[in-house]
Structure 1
Amino acid sequence: MRSGAGGMRGWALLLLLGALLAGGTELTFELPDSDKQCFHQELDRGLKFTLDYQVITGGHYDVDCYIEDPSGRAIYRETKKQYDSFPHHAELTGIYTFCFSNEFSTFSHKTVYFNLQVGDEPPILPDMGTRVTALTQMESACVTIHEALKAVIDSQTHYRLREAQDRSRAEELSGRVSYWSAGETVILFVVSIGQVVLLKSFFTEKRPSGNAGGT
């Protein structure tokens, strides 16, 4: 997969989580405000691909996403989505473009995770798709373990994203509480000083401003 920048700055900080895992790419990247980031993948006609994405941090946890085929036609377009999954079979051979846009936001940076799976997973056994005999007990156990491990990996990815999202929200809430506490402290000092000055003015003896004249 190749990445291409768009928008005003057209850059992104990419953190590679697991590149080209069984015909797929898994990336987490930062998407600045008022910016767009595009990725490109060459696909053959009839090949199945699935795009899963989720906004981890930033703003309202939403992003615009669209996919274009080699002819420039949009085959998928969603605005302000927090997460989604899009399976599709390529109708044309060529380079497909996957874009994530944060152009509607003027100050919120986003962190976006996406996983692009290309093609079907190869069978765990070489002749599993053509054999006519039943699986042996060992083969059945291997298939069961394989499916269970896939479920564990999917669950770990889901919980890792949820943990990162919850941590971001907790840090944001902690920052707001700190600012609110600092503001309350300043207000408390101002009110206390004001009360002292006001009470002092009540007990201060006022002397006449001028001398009385005699005859």
Structure 2
Amino acid sequence: MVLSKIVAFCVIAFVKAIELTFELSDSANQCFFEDIKDGIDCVIEYQVVTGGQYDVDMTLEDKEGKILYKGVKKQYDSFSWKTETEGTYKACFSNEFSTFSHKVVYMDWQKGDEGQLLPNVDRVTSRIAAMTQLETSASAIGDRLRLIDDYQTHHRLREATGRKRAEDLNERVLLWSLGQTAIIITLGIAQVLLLRSFFTEKRTIF
């Protein structure tokens, strides 16, 4: 019974977050919506994984269209706030300033008691429930697991960004090497033709 309660609490905690990676086409604008009650602590974090100059515009608005946050051409950033009104909040990512390159963007939107395994257990009875040693251990383990998952996510993002930069650099070096090789071959052929012209006898017809 205790184990089933812990699993249920875990499910409740995890559904309070949006974590995804999506593609943002060139000259595109993509928005995400979330219904949030008033007085809820929220955190939104984003990062451009690949594409272009690794920058994106991001705007966060409440249900009345009030701008809570605006980031211009940023590779990554985070913003935390507490909701003042209940309603649908909107986070929009814009790549309209880029006409050639599409981008891959990571977003993590957390709200409420996302960091707690056992949030307000006895809210109905308005008293603090006594946690058993097993529940306390499970809560501590859940916090550690979420911290580890967060570290792993950021490590994967850094690894993906570094790998993409390395691939782009390798492609540029390859193209530069091919260009240098073509120039050397062209100069070699031109020198051979020039030397041959020096030793070619010109016949004069009278």
Task: Give the CA deviation at 1:100.
Answer: 0.4
Task: Give the CA deviation at 1:130.
Answer: 4.7
2:186 to 190, 195, 201: 190
Structure 1 residue 181 and structure 2 residue 177: aligned? yes
**2:118 — aligned with what?**
124
- Quote the Cα distance in structure 2 between the aligned partners of 1:132 and 1:46: 23
Name structure 1 gaps, 5 residues minimum: 1-19
1:29-108 correspondence to structure 2 within 5 Å:
29-108=22-101
1:131-142 correspondence to structure 2 within 5 Å:
131=128, 138-142=134-138
Q: Please give the per-residue CA displacement for 1:134-182, whole angstroms capped at 9, x wherever unaligned.
A: x665555434322221221111101011111111111111111111111
Higher Cα radius of gyration: 1
| CA spacing shift, 1:179–1:86, aligned 2, 3 Å | same
- Quote the Cα distance in structure 2 between the aligned partners of 1:108 and 1:31: 9
Identity among equivalent pairs (%): 49
TM-score, structure 1 length as denominator? 0.80
- Quote the Cα distance in structure 2 between the aligned partners of 1:72 and 1:81: 22
Q: Please give the per-residue CA displacement for 1:53-91, whole angstroms capped at 9, x wherever unaligned.
A: 000001221110001111111111110111111111122
2:161 to 158, 165, 181: 165
The ranges of structure 1 where at least 4 consecutive aligned residues each deviate by more than 3 angstroms after the TM superposition are: 122-127, 129-133, 135-144
- Quote the Cα distance in structure 2 between the aligned partners of 1:130 and 1:160: 42
- Quote the Cα distance in structure 2 between the aligned partners of 1:50 and 1:150: 15
Pick 1 or 2: higher relative contact order, CA cutoff 8 A, min separation 6.
2
- Quote the Cα distance in structure 2 between the aligned partners of 1:154 and 1:60: 25
TM-score, structure 2 length as denominator? 0.83
What CA RMSD, in Å, does the superposition of the two structures yield over aligned residues?
2.3
Task: Give the CA deviation at 1:52.
Answer: 0.8
**How many residue pairs were aligned?**
190
**2:8 — aligned with what?**
none
- Quote the Cα distance in structure 2 between the aligned partners of 1:138 and 1:36: 47
**Equivalent residues of 2:117, 2:139 under 8 A apart:** no
**Equivalent residues of 2:117, 2:143 under 8 A apart:** no
1:191 aligned counterpart, secondary structure:
helix
**Equivalent residues of 2:32, 2:90 under 8 A apart:** yes
Name structure 2 gaps, 5 residues minimum: 1-12
Choose between structure 1 and 2: higher strand proportion: 1
Choose between structure 1 and 2: higher helix proportion: 2
Task: Read off the aligned partner of 1:164 and give its amino acid letter.
Answer: A
